[in-house]
Amino acid sequence: MSGEPVRRRRWPRRGRVPLALLLGAALLVSACGGDEDDRKKPAGKAGTDKSASRAAVTIAPKDGAEDVATTGALKVTAHKGRLTSVKVRDSKGNEVAGKISGSGTLWQPSGHLGASTEYTVDAIAVDVQGREAAEHSRFTTLVPQNTFIGQYSPENGQRVGVGMPVSLRFNRGITDPEAVEKAIKVTAKPSVPIEGHWFGNDRLDFRPEKYWAPGTEVTLKLDLDGVQGRPGVYGTQSKEVSFTIGRSQVSTVDAKSKKMTVVRDGKTVKTIPITAGAPGTETYNGQMVISEKHPVTRMNGDTVGFGGEYDIKDVPHAMRLSTSGTFIHGNYWSGKPTFGRRNASHGCVGLFDVRGGHDKSTPAAWFFANSIIGDVVIVKNSHDETIQPENGFSDWNLSWEQWKAEQ
């Protein structure tokens, strides 16, 4: 052994670690590691779950689809969640009305879509934890090869009498009247119940139960663009027109007494001698409506089934009451003593007049000047049948129950 003294290795004194350092280390471990559940939570605001939603949104038709049907093709569904918002707009920004149903799992439009139109769909759904899922889609509807329109009466801005119905004549026969009628709305101010009635497959009229009240504003809204009226034939109209009801004038022709009483706003304003249809060519009974006014017109028996019995080229102050040829008009050829004494016409109602209609003091001139389209003319006590409701604007010959009944 060496005589060198043994040196002892001096170890550092083991002291206490400050508590602050221990806590800091513990927090560091927790922040960097943590338990498994904590690691699954994404960073973000406390209490907000930003993980993927279990909800899924499906839009039909598919994104980019073309030649899409205007009815029945569009629907939005939610799986494992519920829809909270569905916005469908056309290229002009007009929104398509629709409704969410099925406890939030289905959205469908309330009506039809327009033809030849591009639409965008934006839909949002949430799952049970409130997490959102969204989808966007774009599609274009079909371009119709065959179309139909409805020609309407009265005209926009017109002032008409209390008997004027809203009448549409379609240029193609309609085989789906329910779809067409659903796309047409007629409203009135002041409001009154209005119902539609089909005459055949090409005419649809609307009227209230009783004559319109004077001063009523009536609006016709056509939303026919994209409506399939018959297989492969689509409507093209999307417009709104309105007209106003003027004063009330209802004139009653009594074929027996050969007089006409004119009642305006509930008061008798004039009684006029007339001549109605002669035996064998009597005037229709019933409620008729003035649909045309002509200062002078030609009347030829050949056009209404009377052969060559008459052809008068200058009938003055003529107003049409029926499609089949019934008029109330001036008559200069029968002689003044005929009026109020004898029925001598071929079915029309005649009022005394002069040739050319230049004398404004005659009964015919007065009645013409004081009548408007839509005024009512009622014929009674004639030895003929009641006019059919589809003959002219004779709609009022149907009771309200008959009018509303399905055709």
Q: Which positions are catalytic?
A: 329, 348
Residue type at 223 in one-letter notation: D
Q: How many CB atoms lie within 10 A of CB 279?
A: 8
Which one, of 329, 349, 331, lies nearest residue 282 by Cα? 349
Residue type at 126 in one-letter notation: V
Which one, of 102, 106, 101, lies nearest residue 123 by Cα? 106
Cis status, amide bond into 193, omega within 30 of 0: no
